[in-house]
Amino acid sequence: MAETGAGRFAPSPSGRLHVGNLRTAVLAWLFARSTGRRFLIRVEDLDRARAGAEAEQLTELSALGIRSDSPVLRQSEQTDRYTAALDLLIARGLTYECFCTRRDVAEAASAPHARPGSYPGTCRDLGDGERARRRDGRRPALRLRSEVAAWVVEDVLAGRVSAPVDDIVLRRNDGVIAYNLAVVVDDAAQGIDQVVRGDDLLTAAPQQSHLASLLGLAAPSYAHVPLAVTAGGRRLAKRDGAVTLEDLAGQGCTAPAVLGIILSSLGLPCGSLDAALAAFDPGRLPRHPWVVDPATLSSTAVDPACKPSAPTDKVHP
C-alpha cells in the first residue's frame, strides 16, 4: 500500500513502560503499517522526564520490534516551533492571561452548575487594571480564548465523538508550553495524520482537533484503544507488580514471549509482528479493557500454536 502519512507512539520518559503501554505501542505500529504509513516515535519530555528513561523505553520498544522510521523527536527541542504557533494565536486575539492557581480552578469546577473538569473563565474578561494588579508578583498562564462550545471528531473505534471545547492552558505559568498545544504542533510538523493512543484521551481529541483548525493545520485521524486495567478495573501501573519487561525478564518471560501475550490479548497471531500485521483488522479488535493479573502475567497461557520468534529489523513498505 502506498505511503500516505505517519502514525506515532509518544511516551513520556517518566520511567519504564509497562505491558499496557507496550500494547498501545504495538497497536499504533499495526495501525500505521496496515495503512501504508511510516511509524514514528516521539519523546514527550516537556513535563515529566527521568534521567535514563528515554533510553530504557526505546530499548524496550526495540526488543518487541517497534522502532521509529525517522530519528526520534524530543519535545524539549521544539521550543521555537511552539512559540511560533503561540504567537499566531496571540496575534489573532485568541489567548488571555490566567492567574488562577490549581486550587482556584478545582474550587470553581466543584461549584454548583459548573461543568466538570472545565475552566469557568474566571480570568477571561478581566479589565486591564485588574490584570495589571494580579500580574504584580505572579506570572500568569496563557489560555485559549475558545469561540466554540463543542467540537466533533470521527474515531475509528469510537465513532463520532463530540466534546466541550474548554479554554485550555497553552503556556503554563512557569513558561513551559502545555501538552495540548505541543502535541498538535508536533503532529502537524512530523506529518502525522493518524493518532492511535489510549482511550483515556478520547475526550481530548475534539479539543486538539479544534486547536489544529485555529492554527490552520489538518487534524489527524484518531483511533483510541482500550487500556490495560487491573482485576479491580483500575488503570494498570508499574506499582501493580511485575508488569514491565525488566520485571518479567526476572521471572523468565522473554521479550518475544511478552509480545506473544500482547498479540494474543488482541486476538492476533502471536508468533511475530509480521504474522499479526497480516491478520490485522481494526474492526475485530477487542473493545473492552485488557484485564491484567500481574501475579500470573509471566505464565499467561497463549495459543498453543504460538511460537514467539525474535523481532526482526524488517521495515514494511
pLDDT in tens, 121-174: 899 999 988 988 888 778 999 999 998 999 999 999 999 999 999 999 999 999
pLDDT in tens, 60-117: 999 999 999 999 999 999 999 999 999 999 999 999 999 998 888 877 766 665 666 6
CA 137 to chain centre: 35
What's the confidence (pLDDT) of residue 116?
61
CATH code for position 48: 3.40.50.620
> Which of 15-19, 300-304, 309-313 comes out lowest in average pLDDT?
309-313
In a domain, 307, yes or no: no
Does residue 108 or residue 259 have the better pLDDT? 259
What's the confidence (pLDDT) of residue 109?
65
Residues 72 and 139 in one domain: no
pLDDT beyond 80 at 298 = no
Residues 136 and 44 in one domain: no
In a domain, 317, yes or no: no
Residues 103 and 45 in one domain: no
Contacts for 239 with CB less than 8 Å, ≥ 6 apart: none
CA 44 to chain centre: 9
Domain stops at, among 129, 164, 185 = 185
In a domain, 258, yes or no: yes
Residues 30 and 116 in one domain: no
In a domain, 97, yes or no: yes
Question: Could you give the CA distance from residue 52 to residue 57 in angstroms, rounded to a whole number?
Answer: 9
Q: Which domain holds residue 95?
A: 79-185
Question: Could you give the CA distance from residue 106 to residue 119 in angstroms, rounded to a whole number?
Answer: 9
DSSP letters of 222-266? Answer: EEEEPPEE-TTSPBP-GGGSS-BHHHHHTTT--HHHHHHHHHHHT
What's the confidence (pLDDT) of residue 2?
40
Phi-psi region of 230 (alpha: psi -120 to 50; beta: other; left: phi over 0): beta
Residues 90 and 53 in one domain: no
In a domain, 314, yes or no: no
CA 11 to chain centre: 7
Residues 89 and 174 in one domain: yes
Residues 140 and 123 in one domain: yes
Q: What is the pTM of this model?
A: 0.90
CATH code for position 122: 3.90.800.10
In a domain, 46, yes or no: yes
In a domain, 134, yes or no: yes
Number of domains making up the chain: 2
Residues 102 and 177 in one domain: yes
In a domain, 197, yes or no: no
Residues 83 and 176 in one domain: yes
